[in-house]
Chains A and B, each alone.
Chain A
Amino acid sequence: MGSPLVLAAGEVGGDFFRERDVGDLCQAQSGHLFCWDWAKENLDRYGTPTVQHLEIVLISVLVGFVVAFALALIAHRTRWLQPPLLTATGLLYTIPSIAFFFLLIPLTGFGRDTAIIVLAAYTLQIIYRNTILGLNNVPSSVKDAARGMGFTDRQILWKVELPLAIPEIIAGLRVAVVSTIAIATLVVFINAGGLGTQIYGEGNLTFPTTVIIAMAIVMGMALLFDLVLLTVQRLTTPWRRVRQA
Chain B
Amino acid sequence: MPSGESDAQSQPGASSVRYEETTKRYPGAGAPAVDKLTLEVPAGEICVLVGPSGCGKTTAMRMVNRTVEITSGDVLIGEHSVRDREPAQLRREIGYVIQQIGLFPHRTITENIGAVPQLLGWDKGRIRQRSAELLELIGLDPELGDRYPAQLSGGQQQRVGVARALAADPLVMLMDEPFGAIDPINRERLQNEFLRLQAEIRKTVLFVTHDIDEAIKMGDRIAVMREGGRVEQYATPAELLMAPANEFVEDFVGADRALKRLALMRVGDINLWEAPLAHVGQATAEVRTKLAAPDVEVPYALLVDSERRPLGWLTERDLAGDTVPRQADSPLGPVLEQDDVMRDALADLLQGESQYAPVIDHQGRIAGVLSVEIISEFLASPEAKTDEHTAAERPHG
Contact = CB atoms under 8 A, between A and B. Distances in A.
A237 B104 CA distance: 13
Contacts of A242: 147-148, 150-151
A244 B150 contact: yes
Interface string A176-189: 00000000000000
B102 interface: yes
Given A149-B116, A237-B106, A245-B153, A141 B88 contact: no
B92 interface: yes
B308 interface: no
A80 interface: no
Interface in A192-245: 237-239, 242-245
A145 B153 contact: no
Interface string B93-135: 0001010111111110000000110010000000000000000
A142 B105 contact: yes
B264 interface: no
B380 interface: no
A147 interface: yes
A148 B91 contact: yes
B174 interface: yes
Contacts of A164: 105-106
A163 interface: yes
B116 A150 contact: yes
- The A interface is mostly helix, strand or loop, or mixed, namely helix
A108 interface: no
A149 B92 contact: yes
B88 A151 contact: yes
B67, B98, B115, B147 interface centre (most CB from chain A within 10 Å): B115
B91, B107, B116, B153 interface centre (most CB from chain A within 10 Å): B91
B23 interface: no
B90 interface: yes
B285 interface: no
A141 B100 contact: yes
Interface in A166-184: none
A150 B92 contact: yes
A152 to B, nearest CB: 5
Interface in B168-199: 174
B106 A139 contact: no
Contacts of B96: 145, 148-149
Contact of A150 (B91, B104, B107, B174): B91
B89 A243 contact: no
Interface string A23-63: 00000000000000000000000000000000000000000
A142 B88 contact: no
Interface string A123-141: 0000000000000000101
B392 interface: no
Contacts of B115: 146, 149
A11 to B, nearest CB: 52
B180 to A, nearest CB: 12
A104 interface: no
B65 A148 contact: yes
B169 to A, nearest CB: 14
B243 interface: no
B101 A141 contact: yes
A164 B102 CA distance: 13
A142 B91 contact: no
A142 B102 contact: yes
Nearest to A147: B67
Interface in A97-129: none
B31 interface: no
Given A149-B96, A150-B91, A245 B102 contact: no
Contacts of A238: 148
Nearest to A148: B96
A16 B23 CA distance: 80
B152 interface: yes
Contacts of B148: 238-239, 242
Nearest to B115: A149
Contacts of B153: 245
Contacts of A163: 106
Interface in B332-377: none
Nearest to B174: A148
A151 to B, nearest CB: 7
A244 B119 contact: no
Contact of B119 (A141, A145, A151): A151
A151 B115 CA distance: 9
Nearest to A153: B88
Nearest to B118: A159
A141 B151 contact: no
A139 B103 CA distance: 10
A142 B104 contact: yes
Contacts of B92: 149-150
A173 B30 CA distance: 48
Nearest to B154: A245
Contacts of B89: 150
B88 A152 contact: yes
Contacts of B164: 149
12 contacts: A142-B102, A143-B102, A144-B67, A145-B96, A146-B115, A147-B67, A150-B116, A160-B106, A239-B107, A243-B151, A244-B150, A245-B153
Interface of A: 139, 141-152, 155, 160, 163-164, 237-239, 242-245
Given A141-B98, A149-B119, 18 more contacts: A142-B103, A142-B104, A144-B98, A144-B100, A145-B102, A145-B103, A146-B104, A147-B67, A148-B174, A149-B96, A149-B165, A150-B88, A237-B106, A239-B106, A239-B148, A242-B148, A245-B150, A245-B152
Task: Enumerate the 9 nearest inter-chain pairs by beta-carbon distance, A residue then B residue, closest first.
Answer: A145-B102, A141-B100, A150-B92, A148-B96, A150-B91, A141-B102, A239-B148, A245-B151, A150-B88
